[in-house]
Amino acid sequence: MLLPTDFELHRPTTVAEAAALRAELGDTAALYAGGTELLLAMKLGVLEYEHLIDVKRIPALRGIERRDGELRIGAAVTHRELETLPDLPALAHLERHVANVRVRAAGTLAGNLAFGEPHADPPALLVALGARVALVGASASRELPVEDFLTGPYETELGEDELIEAVIVPVDGAVRAAYRKFQVLERPAVGVAAAGRLDGRVFDGAPVVVAGAVDERPVRIPADALAGAAYDDPDALAALAAAAAEAVEPVDDLSGSEAYKRHLTGVLAQRAVLALRGEG
């Protein structure tokens, strides 16, 4: 089977070359890395492009750099390469459970963000960790928090003339993080990430708790009840679960009813917070 539409394939080897192609080709072109989302949509005829710009052959996008307490994950780094990441155990744990082994071998973290699929694992944790995306265009570069980059289902702030250069994740040894999800089909029904500082068993400030996959965008769950509380304080956790169930706006679908997903969000918020004692 051929993809339904013919396209020209561009294989730049530098970021500058890719940015120039983006500027020249505009919305007739799509960025192409693992293809795990894009090729599916093209096979179904949902998306059509005259040009694909393959970013996998750009060496500068293939590495993971540690710089100034941050991890710069190049845009062509696959899920699989992040499964064994030592710096961020919570992200490595999440990556080990993205889709299946074949998707993890081909798909990239940056591609996952750029496609803007709401039913995805990484966004919730990246938002909880305060991650950013580094965008580069032919004439300018900028950085945006992942939270602002993802604007809606299949919609992002990525300009027609831009590409993602890296996903930047702060690494702070004092911040513990965890992601917990529930999934019956190929994509998570609900996933909740938590990140926070613990002084022994007690939270130093409130943790950041973010629900993903359940709404059109990642949703912050108010977690004030946990500020200064023990990580396993039953009253604080009950308040968190109630706040989580309120914070999201799920829709009924094959992954579950609205009410069920509200319940799941509360349960997973508690599990993510409880997992902070273990990390991962």
Partner 1 sequence: MTATTITGRINGRELTLRVDNATLLLDLLRDMGLTGAKPSCEMEICGACTVQLNGLPVSACTTLAVELDGGAVETVEHLDAGGELHPVQRAFLQHSALQCGFCTPGMVMTAKALLEQNPSPTREEVIHWLEGSICRCTGYEPIVDAILAASA
Q: Which residues contact partner 1 (rule: CB under 8 A)?
A: 1-9, 35-36, 39-40, 43, 52, 80, 96, 99-103, 105-106, 186
Which stretches within 87-217 are classed as H helix?
89-96, 101-106, 109-115, 122-128, 146-149
* 156 beta partners: 150
Whole-angstrom Cα distance, residue 44 to residue 62? 29
Minimal distance, residue 81 CB to partner 1, in Å: 11
**Beta strand 190-199 pairing with 202-212:** antiparallel
- Residue closer to partner 1 (CB basis): 9 or 254: 9
| Nearest by Cα to 103 from 30, 13, 38 | 38
Minimal distance, residue 32 CB to partner 1, in Å: 8
Minimal distance, residue 41 CB to partner 1, in Å: 10
Distant-in-sequence, close-in-space partners of 117: CB < 8 Å, separation ≥ 6: 37, 153, 154, 187
Beta carbons within 10 angstroms of residue 184's beta carbon? 10
Whole-angstrom Cα distance, residue 71 to residue 167? 8
- Residue closer to partner 1 (CB basis): 4 or 153: 4
- Residue closer to partner 1 (CB basis): 93 or 176: 93
Residues 91 and 73 sit within 8 Å (Cβ to Cβ)? no
Q: Which residues of 123-156 are buried (b: 16+ CB within 10 A; e: fewer)?
A: bbbbbbbbbbbbbbbeeeeeebebbebbeeeeeb
- Residue closer to partner 1 (CB basis): 6 or 68: 6
Whole-angstrom Cα distance, residue 92 to residue 110? 15
Whole-angstrom Cα distance, residue 144 to residue 156? 11
In angstroms and rounded to an integer, the radius of gyration of the C-alpha atoms of the chain is 19
Minimal distance, residue 74 CB to partner 1, in Å: 18
- Residue closer to partner 1 (CB basis): 16 or 105: 105
Minimal distance, residue 23 CB to partner 1, in Å: 21
Minimal distance, residue 96 CB to partner 1, in Å: 8
- Residue closer to partner 1 (CB basis): 35 or 74: 35
- Residue closer to partner 1 (CB basis): 37 or 162: 37
- Residue closer to partner 1 (CB basis): 187 or 271: 187
Minimal distance, residue 94 CB to partner 1, in Å: 14
Minimal distance, residue 218 CB to partner 1, in Å: 24
